Amino acid sequence: MKKFGLGLIGCGGMGRSLATNANQIKQVKARPQLVSETTLTWGSSTGPTESVNPSLDREGADAEYSDDEYDVGVVAVSDLDISLAKSLASDISAEFTDDYLDLLVDDRIDAILIATPPFLHADIAVEAAAAGKHIFTEKPMATTLIDCDRMIRSAESHGVQLGVGLVCRFHAVHSTIRQLVHSGTYGRPISMKVHRTGGPWSGEPCHWRMKRDQCGGFLMEVNAHEIDFMRWTLGVGTEDRVSSVHASGGIYLQPHTDYADLVFLTMRFTNGAIGFLHAGQVSALGGYGGAVDCEKGSLHFPTIWGENSQIQIHTFDGQTETIPATEIAVDSPVKAEIQAFIEAILQGQLPPVTGTDGRAATEIALAAYQSIRTGQVVNLPL
């Protein structure tokens, strides 16, 4: 059986989650499909788009298929804190090092998983692409658009795939809400609101998570998920995008940080839909939920996680339905996102979450910070 090897850079909590979930995949099958059926076309700043060659869109005796199985596993892990690398390596039966360049020259490794602090993502990704390794990076993709573009262009020029860990697309409630909206059953989406709040982060003022240029602030470090969720859900057409951003907020409980700890963010889409995000670290209660209003009805998800998580559907003609999250069958989200990334590589397709998606989440967060600073609506693209 062929092998698909992974290397992990960054062995903290998220890195450990990526590695342990990746090792649960065990095997991936490159599903039967036409080889070279899909062509990946890259733009200089917007990332790849997908097109199909009609002459290859066929079946029959002359069609060429790929149906190989690959054994998936983490070969080696790396962290500057060698104790973290050694501990994780011992738990997952992998090799370890304190120099990530060792992973980039290892022929057994096909793809790199990046789980370092965000401000380090770009340099590692660029080096990995130059070494011919596919790249899966945790969110935020990067804290600046310059770094996002460097990553996209490097993957393009070296012919490797770039995926971003916006894992909410693989969670039960998130994915079902998007599926329901895009089914068309409830008509065109009009508005979407999401709240995700909690208390302040703990840590020393010098910690990377307290500096916006290093972590992106919580709008990137945490709420990249919600920004992507709304883009993914309200962007019904392939050309739909966020056209403008307006945000209000400020620093209330975390004076040792240099970014807002409370943000009310409004996104206007080119299709007329409006998304609203309440994000913050000033709540002793916290919470995570929201709703989507469509032409024919509304989808309410009062709490996304926990035993009472559910989707409530109400239509204007009086129909109601409740879908408990426990009845929505999904695989472990982190495992699913890594498996989907690997399958896309083996099938010659785009990853389900591309560099373009990661860049968009960063751009919207940057526009929100600009809007907070100026008090003005910020038009996109920046």
Q: Which string of DSSP letters, residue by residue, matches 181-230?
A: HHTSTT-SEEEEEEEEE--PPPS-TTSGGG-HHHH-HHHHHTTHHHHHHH
Q: What are residue 280's DSSP bridge partners? A: 197, 262
Say what angle helices 224-234 and 355-374 make with each other, to 10 degrees.
110
Nearest by Cα to 282 from 263, 267, 268: 263
Predicted confidence at residue 204, as pLDDT, reads: 84
Burial class (CB in 10 A: 0-12, 13-18, 19+), 79: buried
Distance of alpha carbon 352 from alpha carbon 361, whole angstroms: 15
Distance of alpha carbon 214 from alpha carbon 165, whole angstroms: 18
Distance spanning both ends of the chain, measured CA to CA: 47
Three-class secondary structure of residue 68 per DSSP: coil
Distance of alpha carbon 293 from alpha carbon 300, whole angstroms: 8
Pairing of strands 38-43, 69-78: unpaired
Task: Tell me how far CA of residue 312 lies from CA of 242, 289, 291, 321, in angstroms.
Answer: 27, 12, 9, 6
Q: What are residue 136's DSSP bridge partners? A: 113, 163
Distance of alpha carbon 263 from alpha carbon 252, whole angstroms: 11
Tokens encoding 251? 């620093």
The conformation of residue 65, written as its DSSP 8-state character, comes to B
Task: Tell me how far CA of residue 377 lies from CA of 109, 219, 270, in angstroms.
Answer: 45, 17, 15
Can you give the pLDDT of all 382 residues of the chain as single tens digits? 899 999 999 999 999 999 999 999 989 988 644 443 333 333 333 333 333 333 333 334 443 445 689 999 999 999 999 999 999 999 999 999 999 999 999 999 999 999 999 999 999 999 999 999 999 999 999 999 999 999 999 999 999 999 999 999 999 999 999 999 999 999 999 999 999 999 998 888 889 999 999 999 999 999 999 999 999 999 999 899 999 999 999 999 999 999 999 999 999 999 999 999 999 999 999 999 999 999 999 999 999 998 899 999 999 999 999 999 999 999 999 999 999 999 999 999 999 999 999 999 999 999 999 999 999 999 999 9
Alpha helix segments (H runs only) across the chain = 13-25, 82-92, 101-104, 121-130, 145-158, 172-182, 212-215, 217-221, 224-234, 333-347, 355-374
Pairing of strands 262-269, 297-301: unpaired
Contact 141, 166 (CB under 8 A): no
Burial class (CB in 10 A: 0-12, 13-18, 19+), 257: buried
Predicted confidence at residue 66, as pLDDT, reads: 57
Predicted confidence at residue 31, as pLDDT, reads: 67
Distance of alpha carbon 370 from alpha carbon 232, whole angstroms: 23
Domains of the chain: 2-167+334-352 (3.40.50.720), 171-330+364-379 (3.30.360.10)
pTM over 0.95: no
